[in-house]
Structure 1
Amino acid sequence: MGRWEPNARHRLAEAALDLFTERGYDETTVAEIAERAGLTKRTFFRHFADKREVLFGGQEELAQLFAEGVAGTPADATPFEAVAGALDAVAADFTGERLARARQRQPIVAANNDLLERELLKRAKLVAAMHDALAARAVEEPAATVAAELGCLAFGIAFNRWVEAGNRREFGELAVEALDELRAATAALG
């Protein structure tokens, strides 16, 4: 592939995932990622701040989907229904093509403490996006915080189930199921 070909960001992400899988995250350099993608190091840094960001690209778009999903629910929706709207909005972006990449990404993140910390930061930003969208709907505290946290927890549970080897269910179905389980669990707390 020539340097002029389109999809540089995608090519870099694919090359990085392949190298991280083959050699390990810590053992892979930005130069190697760029070379594998048929690009330059300079091109890499036009698309990503560092090699860690290859694994977390799209976080802002995901947070925006959560916020839009909450905002797009009917005005009389409960906080749980608004969070379900957020999960539904996100589910549309979690396609079969994304699944293969997510399955490849998960063990890389799980094997590296710095990446696990980055994953927690991503989670906090997703919670904040839902919380702010709920607050904009005049959901009061602590309901806005609890609903946002439960929404993000349902997202995490659904995501982990979705990437499991052998899973054949759609992300949206898993997200609804996880949110229903959390709703039942909170009711059981008394």
Structure 2
Amino acid sequence: MSRWEPNTRVRLLDAALDLFGGRGYDSVTVAEIAERAGLTKRTFFRHFTDKREVLFAGQEALSRIFAEAITAVPASASPMEAVAAALAAAAAPFGPQRRERAKQVQAVVAGHSDLRERELLKHATLTAAMAGALRERGVPAPAASLAAEIGGLAFTTGFARWIEPGNEREFAELAREALDELVAATATLG
């Protein structure tokens, strides 16, 4: 095995998805993932704490993208305009070339209760990043939390639509559409 090769995290994810798809999540070990990627188990643990985290790589970067985009909007922007900016900024990693991998990850997550629980934690972390950035802009806590929750739901809805079979639309468009639908729905709550 080589000492260093580029794209280690991607290679580990590809190896994990290949193994999970063939044998199921529970029957695959970290050692097998590392071996399939042509790496050592030690290298695996330099990048991920366990095999579950391979599926959730990038969460920290996504949280940072959300927060930075909210911080960067003009002071005159409403909380929902700031959230829309965050969703637009977060769309960059969701290009068409990543759609198939996202579908594979989602299939593995959907089939395992522990992974669905971890996905909920990811959602809460992303929502908290948005709420924190909104509060830093001076948005009061209840409004910041509500705007962030709506943004998180728009993100999740847009993602689900993006990976639907036959979908050709871009993630950014789907997330914005979901946000607009949710904002319109809140107006009907009276």
TM-score range, shorter chain: over 0.9
Unaligned residue ranges in structure 1 (runs of 5+): none
Residue 167 of structure 1 is matched in structure 2 by: 167
Q: 3-state SS of the aligned residue for 1:27?
A: coil
**Separation (CA, whole Å) in 2 of partners of 1:119 and 1:188:** 29
Q: How far off its partner does 1:31 sit?
A: 1.1
- CA deviations 1:132-155 (Å, max 9, x no partner) are 000011001311110000000000
The question of whether the paired residues in 2 share the 8 Å contact of 1:157 and 1:175 is answered with yes
Residue 151 of structure 1 is matched in structure 2 by: 151
Residue 15 of structure 2 is matched in structure 1 by: 15
**Separation (CA, whole Å) in 2 of partners of 1:124 and 1:137:** 20
Residue 31 of structure 2 is matched in structure 1 by: 31
The question of whether the paired residues in 2 share the 8 Å contact of 1:3 and 1:38 is answered with no
Q: How far off its partner does 1:96 sit?
A: 1.4
The letter for the 2-side match of 1:35 is: E
The letter for the 2-side match of 1:105 is: V
- CA deviations 1:5-52 (Å, max 9, x no partner) are 322221111100111111111011111111111111111111111000
Q: 3-state SS of the aligned residue for 1:164?
A: coil
Percentage of pairs with the same residue: 66
**Separation (CA, whole Å) in 1 of partners of 2:120 and 2:8:** 28
1:24-63 equivalences under 5 Å are 24-63=24-63
- CA deviations 1:109-136 (Å, max 9, x no partner) are 0111110111111111101100000001
**Separation (CA, whole Å) in 2 of partners of 1:162 and 1:95:** 10
Q: 3-state SS of the aligned residue for 1:142?
A: helix
Residue 182 of structure 1 is matched in structure 2 by: 182
Deviation beyond 3 Å, 4+ runs, structure 1: 1-4
The letter for the 1-side match of 2:16 is: A
Q: How far off its partner does 1:98 sit?
A: 1.8
**Separation (CA, whole Å) in 2 of partners of 1:141 and 1:46:** 37
**Separation (CA, whole Å) in 1 of partners of 2:7 and 2:64:** 23
RMSD: 1.1
TM score, norm. by length of structure 2 = 0.97
The letter for the 2-side match of 1:75 is: A
The letter for the 2-side match of 1:125 is: T
The letter for the 1-side match of 2:106 is: Q
The letter for the 1-side match of 2:147 is: A
Residue 142 of structure 2 is matched in structure 1 by: 142
Q: In the alignment, is residue 89 of structure 1 matched against residue 89 of structure 2? A: yes
Paired residues, what number?
190
Residue 129 of structure 1 is matched in structure 2 by: 129
**Separation (CA, whole Å) in 1 of partners of 2:41 and 2:73:** 44
**Separation (CA, whole Å) in 2 of partners of 1:164 and 1:22:** 22
